[in-house]
Amino acid sequence: MGESKRRTDKMNKLKKNKSTFFSQIVFPKNKADLLFKWTTNAAWTGIGITIFIWFAVHFIGPTFGWWILK
């Protein structure tokens, strides 16, 4: 029981000191957070562009007579 507890404590200390996102790939957590923020912003930008294009196709184009939707 003592050996198991010592080994568990040692592994917990190593995990706390390790600041990587994936254990196999050396990828710091701050870089992972930056990537996450960047991709989230890019995704929301894509959603906004898609909504604008849909709005233009369904409302703006027919209003100005550029095309007719059936």
At 20-56, the pLDDT tens digits run 656 667 777 788 889 899 999 999 999 999 999 999 9
What's the CA gap between 22 and 14, in Å, rounded? 14
Query: How many other C-beta atoms lie within 10 A of the C-beta of residue 32?
Result: 14
pTM: 0.59
- Kindly give, in sequence order, each residue whose CB lies less than 8 Å from that of residue 26, ignoring residues fewer than 6 positions away: 20
- Per the structure block, which two tokens stand in for 59? 């409302």
3-state secondary structure of 8: helix
